[in-house]
Amino acid sequence: MLKPLLKSCAQWVAGTIGWASMKRGDKKLIVLMYHRVLPTDDPRFQYEEPGMVVSDRTFAMHMQTLSAEKLPVMTVSKWVGLSDVERPALTVAITFDDGWLDNYEYAFPVLKQYGFPSTLYVVSDFLGLPAPFWPNKVLRLLLTPGLRIDENWQPLLNMINAELSLPLSRNAAAEVIAKLKQYDDDDIYQALASIKADTAASQIEMINQEQLLDAQTHYGVEVGCHTRKHYRLVEGLNAEKLQDEVVQSKQILEALTHKAVSSFCFPNGDFSDAAHALVKSNYCCAVTTKRGINTSGSLIPSKLNRVGVHDDISNRPISFKARLSCWL
């Protein structure tokens, strides 16, 4: 009883006093980070990590809250291109990672209603595919009832270093995914390839080329780059693959959209010194997954902070503003 009360009090303080303080001092940019936007009764919602999805109702509430606050909303690249004098006291940018089809289905119409621009960070080789990312493949394995764990699971079990009793809860599956992130992407895909269970997504889950162009033309969506195959840009990634992920992906998207692609998003927020240098030389700005507010006076355009939002932590206006204040 006491714990929920204390949590509500903390949210109220952060969502009122903390939020009000955001409009004072140095010019600030809040970059919202979304991944998936889905109705809670959509089957896709149940096959996603809790921290990676927001319901369509919660997303609509977020946008209504921003509109009621009369905050200027612009793309990251536009804000970065302004001088300090031109920047408003507090600005919000809206970003979506990966290029999920549900963004086009449920988020972009809401943004159009409010006249809010946004940036969709696209993985260039994943357009029009079923969910291609290894975390989603792992989720389907761990959440599907009735699967039998056999010897083909051993490479994955060795990585997890734990016994599994399927199906897991979404939160428990998310913990497994977090543990797997210490391994190389290719090693994880190889371990998954040995498992014969038929859990592949049966429907297209990524935005396709036609929808991407429609989003750009009719929904005020700026196309940003999120690499070519979503490899994490960590130490040890060879130079050829790094070039492919950072530069070749940009060229593919520019040929597709017929527009300059000037904004980049680091997969999982990871980057080596070499990756950061390559991104910095090819894009005007880049976003990370590090939580925080960007201030005009101490800005690093190639390492911008963001604020991730999902249902569990932002399903009321006060909790949404508390989250954006970064007081909690």
Task: Look at phi and psi of residue 156 and say left if phi exceeds 0, alpha if psi is from -120 to 50, else beta.
Answer: alpha
8 Å CB contact between 90 and 23: yes
Architecture of the CATH domain 2-16+26-129+207-325: Alpha-Beta Barrel (3.20)
pLDDT (0 to 100) of residue 200: 59
Q: What percent of the chain has pLDDT over 70?
A: 98
8 Å CB contact between 199 and 215: no
The pLDDT-based confidence of 193 (bands split at 50, 70, 90) is very high
Q: Is the pLDDT of residue 2 over 80?
A: no
pLDDT digits (tens, 9 = 90+) for 94-141: 999 999 999 999 999 999 999 999 999 999 999 999 989 999 999 999
- Per-residue burial over 248-272, b if 16 or more Cβ lie within 10 Å, else e, is bbbebbbebbeeebbbbbbbbbbbe
pTM given for the model: 0.95
Identify the H or E element spanning 240. Answer: helix 239-243
Contacts for 307 with CB less than 8 Å, ≥ 6 apart: 30, 31, 32, 33, 291, 292, 293, 323, 324, 326
pLDDT digits (tens, 9 = 90+) for 9-21: 899 999 999 898 9
From CA 258, how far away is CA 253, in angstroms rounded? Answer: 8
pLDDT digits (tens, 9 = 90+) for 283-311: 999 999 999 999 999 999 999 999 999 98
Q: Where are the domains of the chain?
A: 2-16+26-129+207-325, 134-193
